[in-house]
Chains A and B, each alone.
Chain A
Amino acid sequence: MAGVSTAHRPDSAATTRRGEALIEFLLRASAAIGIITTVGIVTVLLVEAIFFFAEVSPVDFFTGTRWSASILPYAFGVIPLITSTLMIAFIALVLAVPLGVLAAVWMSEFASQRVRSIIKPVLEILAGIPTIVYGFFAITVITPLLKATILPDLGTFSALSAGIVVGILVLPLVASLTEDALRAVPRGLREGSYALGATRWETVRRVLLPAALSGIAAAVILAMSRAVGETMAVVLAAGTNPQLTLNPTESVQTMTAFIVQISLGDTPTESIQFKALFAVGATLFAITFTLNLISAWLVARYRNVYE
């Protein structure tokens, strides 16, 4: 080899090392932004909620059944907001879970590679459409359709329309997470079932769904979290009428819809209404955070079993 002395060149090893340390520091700082964000969110919500609870007792807030932030006499019982939120989430899940799970089963067990390569992008497109567009779809299509067919007396805003549109919105999420869970079931289990002469449906019902159960449960919980936190579709479809009802044809106000209502108006930042925004936000965060943790725990459980 011709004499080229490349190794052992004094390539300023010390400088390189110092550069490495600086780079590692910058990378670590970037990763820490996640933690800072979490701490920031929790701090902001707690501090502002404390200002609110200085004026309204937590007991009244969490057990009160009347919410009236704009009409005197004011009342800040969060139960109506939570009830409406959960009612809409429930309607959404009733729609999205069976359809989503069926869709996932069809994609992972029945569809050919070709068909799946068409269907999967369609679901991804559905998942990518902004929720404001779903809200628009609810008021221009779903509500009129319900009125024209089964519920002629339905008003412009209803929990039912909101629930249906949120169901459509979380369906791709349920389908894709369920498909992940089904795919994580080892081939051997499937083959074992087919080798015993089981049909596809029998394999799905007796082997795959039980094996993927905690994964599917994780999908359902996460979908619920999404539905609870969903804002724009719900604001447009369910309205802003805070009332305690379980009648899905009524107009209701969810937690997110209240937050939007307050931010849209010229509410002074020192007012009790504005402080209530943070208290409701903190409640919303606590609910979704808990749901997300449960979902993550369920996913970790099925990963542990099969990986």
Chain B
Amino acid sequence: MSTQTTTRRKVANALFGLLAFLAIFASLVTLVALLFDVVVRGGSSVDLQFFTSAPSRIPAKAGILPALVGTLWVTTLVAIMTFPIGVAAAIYLEEYAGRGRWSRLLRINISNLAGVPSIVYGIFGLALFVRLLGLGRTVFAAALTLSLLILPVVIISSMEAIRAVPPSQREAAYALGATRWQMVRRALLPAAAPGILTGIVLAVGRAVGETAPLILIGAVTFVTFVPVNPFEDKYTVLPIQIFNWAGRPQAAFQEISAAAILVLLVLMFLLNLVAVILRARLSRTIQW
């Protein structure tokens, strides 16, 4: 092999490495640009008044109080509903269902549901919860819809957490005469808890940022009061508020839209932080 070819090969290799690095670098730059844009545009609008006021036709007086309360309502209800059902479904699929045709269908179905566009969940929620069940355009209907949306994510991440528990743990419990449920409750779930909780917090984070399905469930863009009763009151949430302001041509509205994005991102960052801390604390004692 001539030195010339070797050199060419080395150059090609170096060029490719550079190209690949640039690809990553581009994503980094995008993230920085996105955050920079939001902070520069909206940073100055985030003050106490912004948190304590309702939206207004005058941008300077507008605030996010109803939207923030709406988001907290929806998030809390989603977490409460998805946690037991998601974990229960994951336990069933991993520990009870076996490997038959039925369980295969269930598994494929779950991963397919995870890929259904969120707006389709919105259509379904509109038809089922708002109209058929007559729940109306309420926080509760929105929470039900978002719960269905993130349930596949919760189930998949819980299944992964359960699968990561070594089989020896199951054997240890069974060998001590545990019934299947005793094994699950006393050996499996404590060991899988860090992974399960992390997955749930991250999935709930996804629900916090969802917009499209809630447009169908009738989150109203102009709500000036704080929703108190999740089964009755009209409501709005942060992403909808952002959407409403972002679509207006005036720069002042875009600024408060950016400010609301900032609040939303901080909220999601806090949720992620909770996930990281949970994972670290709970898994401290678990090292297989």
User: What residues make up the interface of A, taking CB atoms closer than 8 Å to B?
Assistant: 16, 19-20, 23-24, 26-28, 30-35, 37-38, 40-41, 44-45, 48, 98-100, 102-103, 105-107, 110-111, 119, 122-123, 125-126, 128-137, 139-141, 168, 171-172, 175, 199-202, 204, 222, 225-226, 228-232, 235-236, 256, 259-260, 263-264, 269, 277-278, 281, 284-285, 288-289, 291-293, 295-296
Query: Max chain B CB contacts within 10 Å: which of A122, A132, A231, A264?
Result: A132
A201 x B120 contact (CB < 8 A): no
Q: In the assembly, what is the distance between CA of A291 and CA of B117, in Å?
A: 12
Q: In the assembly, what is the distance between CA of A256 and CA of B120, in Å?
A: 9
B37 x A140 contact (CB < 8 A): yes
Q: In the assembly, what is the distance between CA of A290 and CA of B109, in Å?
A: 13
Q: For chain B, which range describes its interface: under 10, 10 to 19, 20 to 34, or 35 or more residues?
A: 35 or more
Q: Return the contact of A230 from the options B13, B117, B181 (Cβ within 8 A).
A: B117
B180 CB within 8 Å of chain A: yes
Given that A232-B211, A277-B123 are known contacts, is A136 also in contact with B216, CB under 8 Å in the complex?
A: no
Of chain A, the residue at the smallest CB distance from B19 is A102
A99 x B148 contact (CB < 8 A): no
B117 x A31 contact (CB < 8 A): no
Q: Return the contact of B88 from the options A30, A102, A133, A134 (Cβ within 8 A).
A: A30
Given that A30-B88, A34-B89, A140-B41 are known contacts, is A204 also in contact with B16, CB under 8 Å in the complex?
A: yes
A232 x B27 contact (CB < 8 A): no
The 0/1 profile, CB within 8 Å of A marked 1, for residues 33-46 of chain B is 11001100100000
B-chain residues with CB within 8 Å of residue A168 when the two chains form the complex: 27, 30
A288 x B116 contact (CB < 8 A): yes
Q: In the assembly, what is the distance between CA of A106 and CA of B110, in Å?
A: 31
Q: What is the minimal beta-carbon distance from B265 to any residue of chain A, in angstroms?
A: 7
B242 CB within 8 Å of chain A: yes
B117 x A229 contact (CB < 8 A): yes
Q: In the assembly, what is the distance between CA of A200 and CA of B257, in Å?
A: 46
A225 x B115 contact (CB < 8 A): yes
B119 CB within 8 Å of chain A: yes
B124 x A202 contact (CB < 8 A): no
Q: Return the contact of A132 from the options B91, B120, B151, B211 (Cβ within 8 A).
A: B211
Q: What is the minimal beta-carbon distance from B276 to any residue of chain A, in angstroms?
A: 10
Query: Max chain B CB contacts within 10 Å: which of A107, A141, A171?
Result: A141
B254 CB within 8 Å of chain A: yes
Q: In the assembly, what is the distance between CA of A130 and CA of B205, in Å?
A: 9
Which 5 A-B residue pairings sit nearest by Cβ, starting from the closest?
Answer: A229-B117, A130-B209, A106-B20, A102-B23, A30-B88
B60 CB within 8 Å of chain A: no
Comparing B48-56, B92-100, B163-171, B278-286, the segment that makes contact with chain A is B92-100
A99 x B26 contact (CB < 8 A): yes
Given that A27-B91, A102-B23 are known contacts, is A281 also in contact with B13, CB under 8 Å in the complex?
A: no
Q: Apart from A105-B20, A295-B115, what are 11 other A-B pairs with CB-CB below 8 Å?
A: A16-B179, A24-B96, A27-B88, A31-B93, A35-B106, A41-B124, A126-B31, A137-B38, A199-B9, A201-B17, A256-B212
Q: What is the minimal beta-carbon distance from B113 to any residue of chain A, in angstroms?
A: 6
A-chain residues with CB within 8 Å of residue B172 when the two chains form the complex: none
B160 CB within 8 Å of chain A: no
B78 CB within 8 Å of chain A: no
A263 x B216 contact (CB < 8 A): yes
10 pairs across A/B with beta carbons < 8 Å?
Answer: A16-B179, A40-B128, A99-B27, A107-B24, A110-B21, A129-B268, A132-B243, A133-B38, A264-B221, A295-B115
